[in-house]
A and B are shown apart, each in its own frame.
Chain A
Amino acid sequence: MSATAVHSLWTMAGGVTSAAPDEKFKAPVIEYTQLTPVLIVIGVAVLGVLVEAFVPRRARYYTQVFLAVAALVAAFAAVIGLAAAGYGTTKAHIAAMGAIAVDGPALFLQGTILLTSLVAVFTFAERRLDPESHGSRVDSFAAQAASVPGSDSEKAAVKAGFTTTEVFPLLLFAVAGMLVFPAANDLLTLFVALEVFSLPLYLLCAVARRKRLMSQEAAVKYFLLGAFSSAFLLFGIALLYGYAGSVSYAQIATVVDGSIQQIDPALADTMGNDVLLLIGGAMILTGLLFKVGAVPFHMWTPDVYQGAPTPVTGFMAAATKVAAFGALLRLLYVVLPGLTWDLRPVMWGIAIVTMVGGAIVAITQTDIKRLLAYSSIAHAGFILAGVIAATPQGISSVLFYLATYSFVTVGAFAVVTLVRDAGGEATHLSKWAGLGRRSPLVAAVFAVFLLAFAGIPLTSGFSGKFAVFKAAAEGGASGLVVVGVISSAIAAFFYIRVIVLMFFSEPKADGPTVAVPSPLTMTTIAVGVAVTLVLGLAPQYFLDLASQAGVFVR
């Protein structure tokens, strides 16, 4: 396009506005009632910041825990209310001037994120695992995150009985971002939501009470790689915006499949340039696949899962994955269905290396948190197999799998917080030897979670995996199913190995002790076990729910 033509776009537009001074600026219409889940969580998070500023230190912990739990329960009630009013099915539409979709997948995933966050908050609030220090109960978070580990200022903070109650507002901000992420209906909202949930997570990783050097290291790695990947996402957004002249999902979809009605000269110029579309789409996918931890972009996962405080790891592993897969599904099904065939080989390759790579590397791990991290990578591969299916069953099976997986993950990491020695959590696998003899109940519960991860029948892992593989096979991806089943078998090996280690080897004399938790962590673990068994024994109701919810609004 020539320079004068470009210039005329601006001068002409200016002329038109000055010619019609009567035309008033129209205020945007925002459907506040349909956005209540997000608004409640953000509002209470802001309130939590004020609590930090104004409430006396003694009362902060109880105030923050109460606020966080109340916010998540209220937001979940709001999601249920919206779903009951039909916004998930018949009344599904796009709210807030095209920025947010209120539809089945969005509500289903928001409900899942809120419930997992609710049980994760209980592990955040747990204060009976560590021995009391200077007469006050402490949780998993540093007395004062700003003080250098081992310094005098840290000792003074511990002695004064400080606790980092800021973790609760941070968690709520992260949840708010995660609620928007799978519902985002334009690329700008997608990017802002990504940052809103990532930034609090970077901070949460850095504030462990024990092993803080590792925790800070995890935070730096997560932050640098996360910022790197979000820069890729943003450049991809810029290229797609350049291709379609808009960041709205609907508009981009019409430009991609060529059904757009009005084409101005500038759009005609960029529309013909497939390089913008292909590179832009690939870069956005890179950003999202980083967040789900798929294999070429998984480097951060083991280090961050190991270094972060275990309650944060559980929350992050479950809720981030749900949110990121929601956004990935919406992007592939709403924005880029026209690219399905171009992306298919790439997505196949990523799914295969993710499943196989995660399962194989997990075998060599000696740390329980790293092992669960690689297992989460393998699970990301299984979910990707369902994402690739490109059928309505693909969507609903992925929704169901995410619901099953997130509760198992939060529960498993909650059990990891219980097994402790003098240095805090005993995460080395050799310490877990003979745990089943010493505390059969904890070992049995952990075995249930491991069997669910492995996908043994009668657990939720089996029904989830079955749904995903069935959808993938029907969607023409039988090759993926074969690879998936083989890597499930490999993965089952190291899950069973941990079970054998717990039950059939002699406990060591200097082994770890199992802390008796307060009812908070007990609730988390009990909910995890209950969901695992219910979704394993009677999954039909929830499968129906997921398939009702599995239609994206366009």
Chain B
Amino acid sequence: MNPVNYLYLAALLFTIGAAGVLIRRNAIVVFMCVELMLNACNLAFVTFSRMHGNLDGQIIAFFTMVVAAAEVVVGLAIIVSLFRSRHSASVDDASLMKL
């Protein structure tokens, strides 16, 4: 199959993730959408790696996975601490500092 199709899929996944970040209101779901965007990037990297016939893209995909894992650790820690003090993980409720 033509590898370009995977690029379309990656762009689609990225767009779904970005739309989710903007639309969803639960911090955990927003964060999952960000992870979807990172995975879309991985798919694009691997596809380009295949097209160019070098391994850079596949190596970068590994780095992205490690970074995403580190981000999950930090992100969940922050979101859980917010949830414990407010009993809500909604990003709309977190509005102490509106102008």
Which residues of A line the B interface, CB within 8 A? 1, 3, 6, 9-10, 13, 145-146, 148-150, 188, 191-192, 195, 199, 202-203, 206, 212-214, 216-221, 223-224, 227-228, 231-232, 234-235, 237-239, 241-242, 245-247, 264, 266-267, 269-270, 302-303, 306-307, 364, 370
Contacts and interface: CB of A to CB of B under 8 A. Distances in A.
Contacts of B12: none
Contact of B91 (A150, A220, A231): A220
Point out which of A192, A216, A227 has the most chain B C-beta atoms below 10 A from its C-beta.
A227
Contact of A191 (B50, B67, B85, B94): B67
Nearest to A361: B99
Interface residues of B, number: 51
Contacts of B31: 224, 227
A242 B8 CA distance: 13
Contacts of B77: 203
Interface string B28-49: 0011001001101100110110
Contact of A3 (B2, B10, B57): B2
Contacts, number: 152
28 contacts: A9-B52, A13-B53, A148-B81, A148-B85, A191-B64, A199-B71, A213-B86, A213-B96, A214-B96, A216-B78, A216-B82, A217-B95, A217-B97, A220-B79, A223-B75, A223-B78, A227-B71, A231-B17, A231-B37, A234-B37, A238-B45, A245-B48, A264-B52, A270-B48, A270-B52, A303-B97, A370-B97, A370-B99
Interface of B: 1-3, 7, 10, 14, 17-18, 21, 27, 30-31, 34, 37-38, 40-41, 44-45, 47-48, 50-54, 56-57, 59-60, 63-64, 67, 70-71, 74-75, 77-79, 81-82, 84-86, 91, 94-97, 99
Contacts of B75: 202, 223-224, 227
Nearest to A303: B97
A235 B14 contact: yes
A235 B41 contact: yes
B44 to A, nearest CB: 4
A266 B47 CA distance: 12
B91 A224 contact: yes
Contacts of A270: 48, 51-52
A217 B30 contact: no
A150 B94 CA distance: 18
B20 to A, nearest CB: 10
A228 B17 CA distance: 9
Contacts of B1: 3
Point out which of A13, A228, A246 has the most chain B C-beta atoms below 10 A from its C-beta.
A228
Contact of A231 (B41, B45, B63): B41
A242 B78 contact: no
B48 A202 contact: no
Given A191-B63, A238-B41, A242-B44, 7 more contacts: A148-B81, A202-B74, A220-B78, A231-B14, A235-B37, A238-B45, A370-B97
A146 B52 contact: no
A149 B71 CA distance: 24
Contacts of A145: 81
Nearest to A154: B85
A227 B38 CA distance: 9
Given A220-B91, A228-B21, A6 B40 contact: no
Point out which of B18, B47, B81 has the most chain A C-beta atoms below 10 A from its C-beta.
B81
A188 B41 CA distance: 13
Point out which of B2, B30, B44, B74 has the most chain A C-beta atoms below 10 A from its C-beta.
B74
Contacts of B40: 235
